[in-house]
Structure 1
Amino acid sequence: MITGSALPAEQRGKWEHFPHDADVGLRGWGATPAEAFEQAAYALTAVVTRAKVNPKAAVRLTCEAPDLELLFVEWLNAIIYEMAVRKMLFGRFAVRIENDRLEGTLWGEPVDVERHAPACEPKGATYTALKVAKDTNGIWSAACIVDV
């Protein structure tokens, strides 16, 4: 299992990869659903590269879904889409969730094959192991399996 956080210690959420047959599970934690979604996005980038991704360009996106779990899948799939069409990796994320709408900003840079050494290309977030919930300590988590 790989875990980590790309934020400074004072702002640190947490993320992890968890095993699932040929695919990979992603989980992010945070004080809010938005923070958990951000942390899961860091985990998504870490599936592709362990190299630092510089926040050179911002990409804004919006997603809508009838509940938080479906919104989480939409969020990850929107990032995967932006990675593919823009040939970029993202190393910083900001999420705002209001009702059934997510507004997000991704900061990143074009893929540099030599420096980023991409390990694989995520194909899509799935409904397998999909769960967005708050635990008894008030910490939110967001998890699902990503097809790679």
Structure 2
Amino acid sequence: MFDIITDLSRVDNTIEYNLEVSGIDREQLLVNWLTELLYLHDVKTLLFKDFCITDMRDNQLQATIHGESFIGNKHVINTEIKAVTYHGLSITQKDHQWKARVIFDL
């Protein structure tokens, strides 16, 4: 998501956040996770590029994320994401790999 918003090669890991989100199923968990990240970007003007999921279950996710605050003369916002949507959302598993499809409202 953040690679849509900005050039991640210009984002340094100067801050760390620990996040925990939950949902009634995997789809809601994914939407809640992305919505929380978008909230941190919109309200606290943060950009994230490294994500370490420390615990994940069917309805709960814990992660440590790294990035930095938006700096006007360093970062360029390429695309503003307005919202994470359920439209076209899919999560599939093949063998031991998971694949998700998410459509953002721009």
Q: Which residue, 32, 36, 53 being the options, matches 1:74?
A: 32
Asked if 1:103 is matched to 2:62, the reply is yes
- Deviation (angstroms), 1:122: 1.4
Q: Which residue, 51, 71, 89 being the options, matches 1:130?
A: 89
Q: Which residue, 46, 56, 78 being the options, matches 1:88?
A: 46
Which residue identity is paired with 1:87?
A: T
The residue correspondences of 1:1-148 to structure 2 (distance < 5 A) are: 44-52=1-9, 53-95=11-53, 96-135=55-94, 137-148=95-106
SS in 2 for 1:121: coil
Residue 125 of structure 1 contacts residue 145 of structure 1 at CA under 8 Å; is this kept in 2?
A: yes
How many angstroms apart in 2 are the aligned matches of 1:124 and 1:94?
23
How many angstroms apart in 2 are the aligned matches of 1:60 and 1:121?
24
Most deviating of 69-78 and 119-128: 119-128
CA RMSD of aligned residues (A): 1.4
Moved over 3 A (4+): none
Residue 51 of structure 1 contacts residue 115 of structure 1 at CA under 8 Å; is this kept in 2?
A: no
How many angstroms apart in 2 are the aligned matches of 1:105 and 1:143?
22
Listed one character per residue, the Cα deviations across residues 42-88 of structure 1 (whole Å, up to 9, x for unaligned) are xx011111242111101121111111111101110010001112111
How many angstroms apart in 1 are the aligned matches of 2:8 and 2:62?
26
Task: Give % identity.
Answer: 27
Residue 93 of structure 2 contacts residue 99 of structure 2 at CA under 8 Å; is this kept in 1?
A: yes
* Count of residue pairs the alignment pairs up: 104
- Deviation (angstroms), 1:142: 1.4
TM-score normalized by the length of structure 2: 0.88
How many angstroms apart in 2 are the aligned matches of 1:147 and 1:106?
23
TM-score normalized by the length of structure 1: 0.65
- Deviation (angstroms), 1:120: 2.2
SS in 1 for 2:88: coil
